[in-house]
């Protein structure tokens, strides 16, 4: 494998693509440490040092996807979160809005228009989120805890507007850099920037575990368990349920077409990391609602119940609701991203059939039956992986962005595998052996 990496760097155009991608990733990390206008960087560093773990799930996730830039209040504070949210919203709207559904079926031209809509929505969400975070910055105890009292140089309206515009422009710049990597580099640009953000939090999360435990034995044990988890995630992410498909022979003139055998690959984790993101975002909403009641001397009963049951990862009710949401969103997302009726119609159109299953309605029922069984396994897998950070918080005193579980491990493994496959294909095009002999 190391020899294959050496060969990849010996290929001039492939080396150029890899170095270009690494350069953009380095610029992305550099922007995470440049403070926004009007922010006192020394004061922010003091607040971050004493912040500890965040109870607010939404802010914790946003900070994870920004590589820690959110709590730094940097120009890249929003990270890639607005683009992720916009992409998910546009994808869901294809089921609701007929215009989007028509664009999806138009091929490359329709996809270009969908991408343009995603960009516009990203900027709109960036304006909204940056305004929200600037409001939080005016009350820094929301972000950092009660020990922090001030992070802004001044709170003049012009300064606050400049902060909002800077963070929004930072999101636009990140989006552009991601598209540059996709076009001129190697791999999917947005995915690699998310990968960079998450990997950047690894050292801090691991050292926090070591400091809380006070010995290296627990630290080494966490590393070993983490390697086992990564191996298991790689195995499951590569698992597929292959449904065989046979194409009938056809005679057109004097030539014979068809008669080939192939399969429909159904991944065990068909929904990817989307259900985990959805579930975490939904669980963040009650916590945000409770925060509005903090100044109330007599908070309502629902606010007290939420605070005591579903605002922190170490609460049993939180884990139960979290698992239920993950299972629900897994079924929901797969139902809109994989349509058995369309697959059966396309097979019938090109003369394909599943051996032993009649074309038409029986094929749709068979695909739905197999898909539901695969989704159950995939949802259970996502729920199990997502519980690992909660267990680590309760047993090791880790932060909620514990690196060996949840959203972080799923994204890192998924992006890593996809990038390796792309480099592998580039090497094979040049008659090399690739990574795996």
HEC secondary structure over 385-412: HHHHHHHHHHHCCCCCCCCCCHHHHHHH
- Model confidence, pTM: 0.78
Residue with tokens 């592998």: 424
Estimate the crossing angle of helix 57-65 against helix 189-200, to 10 degrees.
110
Euclidean distance between the first and final Cα of the chain, in Å?
8
Beta-bridge mates of residue 246: 261, 353
3-state secondary structure of 55: coil
Contacts of 302 (CB under 8 A, 6+ apart): none
Instruction: For Cα atoms 415, 420, 423, give the angle at the middle one, nearest 5 degrees.
Output: 130
Digitized pLDDT (tens) for each residue of the chain, 437 residues in all: 556 667 777 778 888 888 899 999 999 988 888 888 888 777 777 776 655 444 455 566 666 666 566 667 788 888 888 888 888 888 878 878 888 888 877 778 888 888 899 999 999 999 988 888 888 777 776 666 656 767 787 778 888 899 899 999 999 999 999 989 988 888 888 888 888 888 887 777 777 777 776 677 777 887 888 888 888 888 988 888 888 888 776 666 666 665 678 888 888 888 888 888 788 777 777 776 776 666 566 777 777 777 777 766 667 788 888 889 889 989 988 888 888 888 888 888 877 888 888 888 888 899 999 999 999 999 999 888 888 877 776 666 555 556 676 778 888 888 888 888 888 877 777 655 555 55
63 vs 212: CA distance, rounded Å: 21
Estimate the crossing angle of helix 108-138 against helix 81-96, to 10 degrees.
130
Q: Which domains does the chain have, with CATH numbers?
A: 1-195 (1.10.3370.10), 201-404 (1.10.3370.10)
Residue with tokens 């995603």: 118
Residue with tokens 């990564």: 230
C-beta pairs of 238-244 under 8 Å, 24+ apart in sequence: 238/417, 239/267, 239/268, 239/269, 240/265, 240/266, 240/267, 240/268, 241/265, 241/266, 241/267, 241/268, 241/370, 241/374, 242/266, 243/354, 243/367, 243/370, 244/354, 244/355
Helix, strand, coil % over all residues of the chain, rounded to 5: 70, 5, 25
Q: What is the DSSP letter of 32?
A: T
Q: What backbone torsions phi and psi does residue 393 show, to the nearest 5 degrees?
A: -65, -40
């Amino acid at each position: 494998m190391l020899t294959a990496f050496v060969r990849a760097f010996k290929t001039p155009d492939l080396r150029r693509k890899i170095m270009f991608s690494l350069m953009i990733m380095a610029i992305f990390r550099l922007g995470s440490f440049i403070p926004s206008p009007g922010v006192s960087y020394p004061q922010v560093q003091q607040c971050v040092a004493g912040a500890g773990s965040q109870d607010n799930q939404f802010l914790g996730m946003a900070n994870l996807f920004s590589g820690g830039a959110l709590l730094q209040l940097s120009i890249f504070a929003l990270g890639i979160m607005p683009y992720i949210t916009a992409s998910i919203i546009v994808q869901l709207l294809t089921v609701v809005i007929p215009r989007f559904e028509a664009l999806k079926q138009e091929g490359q031209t329709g996809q270009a228009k969908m991408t343009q809509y995603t960009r516009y929505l990203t900027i709109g969400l960036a304006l909204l989120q940056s305004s929200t975070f600037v409001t939080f910055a005016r009350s820094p105890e929301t972000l950092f805890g009660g020990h922090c009292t001030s992070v802004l140089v001044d709170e003049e309206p012009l300064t606050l507007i400049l902060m909002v515009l800077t963070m929004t422009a930072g999101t636009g710049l990140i989006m552009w850099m991601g598209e540059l990597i996709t076009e001129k580099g190697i791999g999917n640009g947005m995915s690699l920037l998310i990968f960079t953000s998450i990997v950047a939090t690894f050292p801090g999360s691991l050292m926090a575990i070591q400091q809380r435990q006070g010995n290296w034995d627990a630290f080494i044990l966490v590393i070993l368990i983490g390697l086992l988890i990564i191996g298991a995630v790689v195995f499951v992410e590569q698992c597929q349920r292959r449904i065989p498909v046979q194409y009938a022979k056809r005679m057109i003139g004097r030539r014979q077409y068809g008669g080939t055998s192939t399969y429909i690959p159904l991944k065990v984790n068909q929904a990817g990391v989307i259900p985990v993101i959805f579930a975490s975002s939904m669980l963040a909403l009650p916590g945000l609602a409770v925060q509005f009641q903090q100044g109330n001397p007599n908070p309502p009963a629902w606010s007290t119940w939420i605070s005591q049951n579903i605002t922190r990862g170490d609460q049993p009710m939180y884990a139960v609701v979290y698992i239920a949401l993950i299972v629900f969103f897994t079924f929901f997302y797969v139902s809109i991203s994989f349509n058995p009726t369309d697959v059966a119609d396309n097979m019938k159109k090109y003369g394909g059939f599943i051996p032993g299953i009649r074309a038409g309605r029986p094929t749709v029922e068979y695909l739905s039956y197999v898909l539901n069984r695969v989704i159950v396994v995939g949802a259970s897998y996502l729920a199990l992986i997502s519980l690992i950070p909660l267990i680590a918080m309760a047993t090791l005193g880790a932060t909620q962005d514990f690196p060996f579980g949840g959203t972080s491990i799923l994204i890192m493994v998924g992006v890593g595998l996809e990038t390796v496959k792309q480099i592998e294909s580039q090497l094979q095009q040049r008659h090399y052996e690739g990574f795996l002999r």
